[in-house]
Structure 1
């Protein structure tokens, strides 16, 4: 093709599709097409689309008619080039535009006319689809769809609501956890004990071969150490007494959801090389410290801690109600979900859990430990979470529940209060990690659960304070390939948060104001 010819059709297929779509919006003539829909597995349908030759010719005719008016061909004045010459020279390029336009309009038409509740856009390789010289234009694709099921009866459920008093000992423990945020690390020469911090390098081995090494980690001595894909039980007990320069080998158990099937649930050796031991010195509750946290006296600080514990109790009550509701709603949800969908949704499920825990006021280290435990059972928990999502979306539709912009903004400010970040930074992090849809779904599900609970019969049941899990969580993996997957964490790193905040720019400032 000559340079002049290339200039005439410089638009790439995607731009051509956009131009075609704009033209079709102005002339909304529907395509006379046929669609055959068949089942292609759990939550998946196969579509075979047939566009008759008459429609293909109509699209070609429109493209060539427009091109005749604008084409600049050597030897002819603009608009005076014979159409047959235009068709011969530019047939291949126009065919690319026609194919893109036909596919875009036909897909939009299918979306409008067919009852297909798609979960995502169809994944079609446009380049691999061929537009024939003669005959009908046929293309096929699979699309993931929401499962079809009867909405369970969700009104009049019987729910038990756990209640208890927040005692002084619980406030004492809560105050200690609060003070840990301001504690200073002091190196020690004596052996490590529970709640001390270890600076370590870790070497993981299986059958005597090194499978991964991580360096320069700070680990709290707690009952259990939880990695992204494994855990060490009785960690504090096994590491008790270590000093700088010591090495100690313990067993780590891999999760049942790692990618290497032959190692799922297996034990590996974890060699901890201790580079330092520190104890945390909590700040003294003098007036200077109380002033720094905005409290006039110790009682006011204890009241704040009690208020925070109250929010956690409310979270526990909401979770108890949620679990009972979901258990009852999913009793008959025996429909299958495709593995690909489960894998894609697992990180979204974890992120929704992080939102829940942050709102309840859990500190980052506890959130990290809980998320790592969930991650190790991600496929099973994701399957349940997805079924929960589908059922709650149907309930939200039945109850006419909507998500407004004000709901999202209220959630941002709530997260900012719980995490100690500015609303702008929280908003920037959500924007950077593309979590607005996840946040909206989180709010929708919460509203749907609240609607179900409002229709339920609730009975208060007194419960005792449960023992703390005592787990320290690390954003590290035993198996190196597991670290390559999605990096959902309890909070963005300082560098990422700063970059995200800068990228949010004036839009975030405008919203805050």
Structure 2
């Protein structure tokens, strides 16, 4: 088998393959036997049709069937011989084969380009490291968030006030104030003084009680468009935060026995998270600086494949609107993300190969333990 490789650029390859008949003959004969088993001819048992008869009556079909099988086989053999790994499906053309003749074909495909890193000197990369400093207010905020996550709701009898939650049915109205059939949202929670319930709407809902109906304009979308609604109040509730006592501490932090220990544990987690946040930001700046210095190339098909996976992930996510997904918009949104991630992938791979970097099983396990320590609530997902 003769193989000729043309390099169009750093990642595009055109591979011409020539296989002489003497290399093809055994495969072709096996294929004829396989074809024989599928053919039914009057006067012959299945699989017992003489080869000469088969070739006389079905040669074009046998040739076409063989080519379909042989192309993949010899394409893969050629890739293995030349140690090439395509990143996309090859475009095969100029296929030529006839019985007792040689086979030739051309395959065009893309590969990951070889990246040669420049010699780095001192101060080749300019990056800054940001240090995040925590204080008591950060601890208080985390405690408040934990209280909210374990809060209960209590019915308010004397009317809604700022910070309360109104459970209501929302009936959309047309410009004349008539209800629009099919445009009713049932049992929606509205926070008084938050989200869409602020400014003039805040005053309208203050004092609201179960059974009241209040007409107001609510924001419909990110563009700020508003529509008029009848808000039929079902119930008014307020959030009741748990006290910071022994039971609460035991629930949210079983390792702590006192409030001081609880706060100390939280402070350590905040400090660790800030340190990792600082390190993540530094590593991001460092990788961006390396990308700017190296300016790696990558084949367009790698971007297409990356975006294909993102589109598929969004489709399978079960998010609202996933069924009628605008694929073009998703691709446009994530185009720059895909390109940046592939640039860093190319640089990172070159660094790993150049310095023969390896990760041990013990290092992986240690990293998993650190991740679990930082986010114990997600331990099962991480492990």
TM-score of the superposed pair, with normalisation by structure 2:
0.63
Please give the alpha-carbon distance, in whole angstroms, between the structure 1 residues aligned to 2:138 and 2:114.
47
1:346-357 maps to which residues of 2 (within 5 A)?
A: none
Please give the alpha-carbon distance, in whole angstroms, between the structure 1 residues aligned to 2:288 and 2:150.
41
Higher relative contact order (CA 8 A, sep 6+): 1
User: Which residue pairs with 1:38 in the alignment?
Assistant: 8
User: Which residue pairs with 1:300 in the alignment?
Assistant: 261
1:175-194 maps to which residues of 2 (within 5 A)?
A: 175-186=143-154, 189-190=159-160, 192-193=162-163
Please give the alpha-carbon distance, in whole angstroms, between the structure 1 residues aligned to 2:165 and 2:160.
11
Question: How far did residue 385 of structure 1 move?
Answer: 2.2
Residue 390, structure 1, aligned to residue 357, structure 2: no
User: Which residue pairs with 1:328 in the alignment?
Assistant: 289
RMSD: 5.0
How many residues are matched? 335
Residue 145, structure 1, aligned to residue 111, structure 2: yes
Secondary structure at 1:162's aligned position in 2? Answer: coil
Please give the alpha-carbon distance, in whole angstroms, between the structure 2 residues aligned to 1:392 and 1:221.
50
Question: Residues 305-361 of structure 1: CA distance to partner in whole angstroms, max 9, x if unpaired?
Answer: 2122122112222123213312321223546666664464359789xxxxxxxxxxx
1:39-438 maps to which residues of 2 (within 5 A)?
A: 39=9, 45=12, 47-52=14-19, 54=21, 55-57=23-25, 59-64=27-32, 81-88=49-56, 91=59, 94-95=62-63, 98-114=66-82, 116=84, 118-119=86-87, 121-122=88-89, 132-133=97-98, 137=103, 139=105, 142-153=108-119, 156=122, 157=125, 159-186=127-154, 189-190=159-160, 192-193=162-163, 241=202, 243=205, 247-250=216-219, 267=223, 269=225, 271=227, 279-293=238-252, 294=254, 295-334=256-295, 341-342=302-303, 344-345=305-306, 378-402=334-358, 418=375, 420-421=377-378, 423=380
Please give the alpha-carbon distance, in whole angstroms, between the structure 1 residues aligned to 2:280 and 2:137.
23
TM-score of the superposed pair, with normalisation by structure 1:
0.50
**In the alignment, is the contact (CA less than 8 A) between 1:249 and 1:272 conserved in 2?**
yes
Structure 1, unmatched stretches of 5+, are: 1-30, 204-212, 226-234, 254-266, 351-373, 428-513
Question: Residues 271-311 of structure 1: CA distance to partner in whole angstroms, max 9, x if unpaired?
Answer: 59667776543221122222223131222221222122122
Please give the alpha-carbon distance, in whole angstroms, between the structure 1 residues aligned to 2:361 and 2:185.
44
**In the alignment, is the contact (CA less than 8 A) between 1:192 and 1:239 conserved in 2?**
no
Structure 1 50/286 Cα, relative in aligned 2: closer, same or farther at 3 Å?
Answer: same
Question: How far did residue 61 of structure 1 move?
Answer: 3.0
Please give the alpha-carbon distance, in whole angstroms, between the structure 2 residues aligned to 1:222 and 1:340.
50
Please give the alpha-carbon distance, in whole angstroms, between the structure 2 residues aligned to 1:118 and 1:79.
39
Question: Residues 21-75 of structure 1: CA distance to partner in whole angstroms, max 9, x if unpaired?
Answer: xxxxxxxxxx334444534xxx752535443462555531343367779999875
Please give the alpha-carbon distance, in whole angstroms, between the structure 1 residues aligned to 2:97 and 2:168.
66
Secondary structure at 1:112's aligned position in 2? Answer: helix
Structure 2, unmatched stretches of 5+, are: 173-182, 206-212, 312-329
